[in-house]
Structure 1
Amino acid sequence: MSNINEDVGKVLGQYSKDIHKEIGNTLSNIGPEDLREASIYLTEAGGKMLRPALTVLICEAVGGTFSSCIKAAAAIELIHTFSLIHDDIMDKDDMRRGKPSVHKVWGEPVAILAGDTLFSKAYELVINSKNEIDSSNPEECLNRVNRTLSTVADACVKICEGQAQDMGFEGNFDVSEEEYMEMIFKKTAALIAAATESGAIMGGANEKIVSDMYDYGKLIGLAFQIQDDYLDLVSDEDSLGKPVGSDIAEGKMTIIVVNALNRANPEDKKRILEILRMGNESGNCDQVYVDEAISLFEKYGSIQYAQNIALANVKKAKQLLEILPESEAKHTLSLVADFVLYRQN
């Protein structure tokens, strides 16, 4: 497990320098100064850079060049950052990546504008990538740019829909597994799928490969969020950077909660709901109640159920890579799929 984390970490680090440089260049001319600083702030605060790295890896795996996709990769990261800034405002989260959230430093109006700026700059980056695509056919270059723009736009709509669904789940404990999976697809997996699809498009892949690479991104994106649900209950506070069971303490719906409520007998279901309502109303119920809920989840096998779904998704994602020719990029994409499961935070 540690080797996978180390190997993937090296790859993400390898690409992050160039992606940061591309982002820095496109944000350098924003004014006034406070808007520029607020826009740049989170892009320099760390983060795995998983999404843009996937764009580059897919592009290279289908035979494309790094220069063809670097702007699209940077655009994907700007979309992700814009969504984080707006999420923090809506969720009233004061910290992000170990630093005060953008709205805590510059206030909500500037934070909203910073998010909007990143959103707009992402589209500018994709449009400007037409000059970098490795093709002598102008029509083909324009087609790739337009398809990538459509992919990014679709992901942005889905992110908004997913956030709205997630907000609608607050205090609603009658959520089906299908509804929950749709929400996490839109809120988390859609942008990862857009990252992988964009890489395939910019690399000039055929329709079958583009479709399969979208599905690869979707599957590991779903596994990524489900693994978050799982780690919240089985990891440790140092690795998570927050107390174990914080989702329960806040009364949040997860795939584990949904499954337990479906499987529990009436008495246990009533108790799980009581604990969730305590968390929802207080924002942080006592650890003794969190531990009680975890015991009930274990009783019904719901924690393992979530892990099994993540495992199955990663297995399917790796199978989709078989369509690609052998390359270092393909091998790394397989490692990234495993990394989604074996990461500790």
Structure 2
Amino acid sequence: MSDVTDVLKEYSADVIKTIEENLAPVQPQNLQDACIYLTKAGGKMLRPALTLISCEAVGGNKEDALKTAAAIELIHTFSLIHDDIMDDDDMRRGMPSVHKVWDEPLAILAGDTLFSKAFEMIISSKEENAHPEHVANALATVADACVKICEGQASDMSFEGDFDVKEAEYSEMIYKKTGALIAAATKAGAIMGGADEKEVTALYEYGRMIGIAFQIQDDYLDVISDEKDLGKPVGSDIAKGKMTLMVVKALAESDGEDHERLLEILKDNDCSQDMVNEAIDLFNKYGSIDYAYNLALENVNGAKEAIAFLPDSDAKSMLIALADFVIARSS
């Protein structure tokens, strides 16, 4: 775990520098400050690291993918800012959300600026001798992911209060909301590294599967972690009545009084911690917590299998370690 964290920090240093250089011209100053705020707040920077490492795994030079990696992080940050506004979340990465530090109009503008800058940065890779076809394909990959993110967020919003959501519908939502950008990160990195079609497809599948595992693990950690590690109350998703894989599975497997009680808890706007704990007991009773973990593990193993044919290298070893990190992390 510590080795993976160190590698993420190592790769993120160049990404942060690139982001800061490209946001420096943004004016007025409060807009620039709002744009860079979450980058300075920290974060794993998993997505841009995956872009750079995927580039190296196919024999490319990570410098060729640096602006694409930074663009991926800007897209991710843009989505966080807008998500926090839509969900009215007060905190992000242990700090007040962008719209709480400034206001909603400026936060929206900051997100829009990051979104626009991301595409500008990928296009400008041509100025540094990146192959024009690689740039165009990376650009199309990121644009497609952006559409999927919006579709995933819209689906997630439509699930609120809908307790008849099927597992297939939930899986499609988390792929679009979380998995698509991680898949785009690995695919774009491979493209910028000059990968052939087989390598590009494999790295896309790798990213798609660890992206799905990443979201399932987030849901899983919400009910099995302690509050200190989690940074928020345990079972906060339950208290909000959010549809997670464990909720979907428990509702599908339960019946009678247990089914009705779980629905009561999820629908209660004043859900107490005792009620949250009761819901977690029902998750355990119907095996939905173990089911979620095992599905995340299945996706991680599938991701590693997808890139097994790549030549052995430090980059390939790191991709394997990062896949394991997705379900080994505690926050």
Query: What is the TM-score normalised by the length of structure 1?
Result: 0.95
Q: Does 1:196 align with 2:186?
A: yes
Aligned length: 331
State the partner residue of 1:137: none
How far 1:243 moved relative to its partner? Answer: 1.1
Q: Which residue of 2 aligns with 1:322?
A: 308
Q: Which residue of 84, 91, 111 corresponds with 2:87? A: 91
Instruction: Point out 4+ residue stretches in structure 1 off by more than 6 angstroms.
Output: none
SS at match of 1:172: coil
Q: Among the aligned pairs, what percent are the same residue? A: 64
Give the aligned residue type for 1:294: I
2:147 paired residue among 157, 173, 197 = 157
Q: How does 1:1-345 map to 2 (within 5 A)?
A: 5-133=1-129, 141-278=131-268, 281-282=269-270, 285-345=271-331
Alpha-carbon shift at residue 133 of structure 1 (Å): 4.7
The Cα shift of 1:131 comes to 3.0
CA distance 1:248–1:197, shift in 2 (3 Å): same
Q: Which amino acid aligns with 2:146?
A: C
- Any idea what the Cα deviations from partners look like across 1:158-206, whole Å, max 9, x if unmatched? 1111111111111111100011011111110000000000000000000
Asked if the contact 1:133–1:202 (Cα under 8 Å) also holds between the matched residues in 2, the reply is no
State the Cα deviation string for residues 134-162 of structure 1 (Å, max 9, x = none).
6xxxxxx1111111110000000011111
Distance 1:299 1:100 in 2: 37
Cα distance between partner residues in 2 of 1:259 and 1:195: 30
Residue 323 of structure 1, CA deviation: 1.9
The 2-side partners of 1:247 and 1:307 are apart by 17
Aligned AA (2:66): I
Structure 2 counterpart of 1:213, one-letter code: L
The answer to whether the 8 Å contact 1:67/1:132 transfers is no
* 1:238 shift after superposition: 0.7
Q: Which amino acid aligns with 1:116?
A: D
Q: Please tell me the root mean square deviation across aligned C-alpha atoms, in Å.
A: 0.8
Deviation of 1:66 (Å): 1.5
Aligned to 2:121, the other structure's residue is in SS state helix
Unaligned runs of 5+ in 1: 135-140
- Aligned AA (2:6): K
User: Equivalents in 2 of 1:114, 1:265: separation in Å?
Assistant: 47
CA-CA distance at 1:219 after TM superposition = 0.1
> What is the CA–CA distance in structure 1 between the aligned matches of 2:162 and 2:10, rounded to whole Å?
43
Q: How far off its partner does 1:129 sit?
A: 1.0
Given residue 11 of structure 2, which amino acid in structure 1 is its aligned partner? Y
Q: CA deviation at 1:132?
A: 3.1
| Alignment deviations for residues 13-68 of structure 1 (CA, whole Å, 9 cap, x no partner) | 10111100000000000011111111111111100000000000000010000210
Q: 2:32, 2:219 → 1: CA distance?
A: 34
The letter of the residue matching 1:323 is F
Mapped to 2, the partners of 1:297 and 1:328 lie a distance apart of 40
Question: Is the contact made by 1:69 and 1:133 (CA closer than 8 Å) also made in structure 2?
Answer: no
Distance 1:244 1:105 in 2: 26
CA–CA distance in 2 between the matches of 1:218 and 1:323?
17
- Cα deviation, 1:289-345, whole Å, max 9, x if unaligned, reads 111111111111110000110010000101112121110010010000000010000
CA–CA distance in structure 2, aligned partners of residues 125 and 325 of structure 1: 30
TM-score in terms of structure 2 length: 0.99
Equivalent AA in structure 1 for residue 37 of structure 2 = Y
What is the one-letter code of the residue matched to 2:75? I
Paired residues of 1:59 and 1:66 also in contact (CA < 8 A) = yes
Which sections of structure 2, spanning at least 5 residues, go unmatched?
none
SS at match of 1:322: coil
